[in-house]
Structure 1
């Protein structure tokens, strides 16, 4: 009995939007090393986070992508982690935060086109796959939290790391608006321009 291959979801037929902003979900995948070679007692010195390369660029990002109509934000975050980084794990259902940003292709425009609202979570990795749907598009790199800050290209990524650190150390994570999983979001059928590669 053979298992079916993992496939990435394609297109935006089921994409969620809210006030013309594309809704995105992602996570900070992490693992806790059993031993710390620095001899430190600080938990964060033993934590590594997984970052991935961005297609066509050299910077590192956290796995994230479109939140679709048939899934919760957490399910979308787990799916993106599997598709882009080839990892599975235990998702903490505390939302690290909600950030608004623009897709890379629309950074310099003033319209709402390309605007995204991203929900980020923490994912404790329990399985790292050798083969995964977007392996040819993304390379993986495990880094210590301090190094991850240096790799972050955008402020919202550093803010997500701050919330992640708070979550791990038992400090309060800033509250976020209630996550509605249903009808307050509307779905838009893609037009020709929407078939471009998703850059959020």
Structure 2
């Protein structure tokens, strides 16, 4: 069983402009796929978790408390709610304001939240985690994640996530091309030793993350994004 209990209560909760400050992440991984006729490819999957007492899936998120940074809060919530650790991209995907959908879990007196979302590359998936009894987790491809996101802010966060991943793939491709021209071996920025240790739950880094060079996330996701955003 997990030896780290989930935090409870609102004693250390941060507020700003009468909004409860929330931090969370979109956990992701690359899975090998052998069904492609052109050979083995890698498919990106994101992790979503069930909501207690509600029939929907969400990304791990929760209150940002006054004894931690916003990135530490995101890593803690990923561990408590989804039972995953990994490498956190320290630049947020964005900041979204939304209202709580549950009268039993109001974000503030008015029910408003201001949420900071990050990308988390999962490196460890725990067998037991603090909120395991109340939450199940499910790995989904991008199309499924868009379809199952009930709230507009979640779809917006997913779109921002895809943009960031595509930008970093292009940067990685450019670096590989430069290394090839110089006849030097490519350096993949995927080693945890190159990252700055932040907490036992995750690492953070501001450098680019390794992306499979043949993957174009935005072109693959165009159809599902258009469905949700009407263009």
If the TM-score is normalised by the length of the shorter chain, which range does it land in?
Answer: 0.7 to 0.9
Larger CA Rg, structure 1 vs 2: 2
How far off is 1:39 after superposition?
A: 5.0
In the TM superposition, structure 1's runs of 4+ consecutive aligned residues that sit over 2 Å from their partners are 34-41
More helix by share: 2
After superposition, what is the alpha-carbon deviation per residue over 1:49-92, rounded to whole angstroms, capped at 9, x for unaligned? 00000001121000000000011111100000000000000000
Structure 2: gaps (5+ residues): 169-231
Residue equivalent to 1:156: 153
After superposition, what is the alpha-carbon deviation per residue over 1:95-130, rounded to whole angstroms, capped at 9, x for unaligned? 111110111135xx9x96110000000000000001
TM-align CA RMSD: 2.4
Residues 24 and 75 in structure 2, CA contact (< 8 A), matched pair in contact too? yes
How far off is 1:40 after superposition?
A: 7.3
**C-alpha separation between the residues in 2 aligned to 1:86 and 1:138?**
10
Residue equivalent to 1:100: 97
Provide the TM-score with structure 2 as the length reference: 0.66
Q: CA 1:19/1:125 → structure 2, altered by over 3 Å: closer, same or farther?
A: same
Provide the TM-score with structure 1 as the length reference: 0.76
Aligned positions, number: 165
Residues 26 and 65 in structure 1, CA contact (< 8 A), matched pair in contact too? yes
Q: CA 1:139/1:39 → structure 2, altered by over 3 Å: closer, same or farther?
A: farther
Residue from 21, 26, 43 that aligns with 2:24: 26
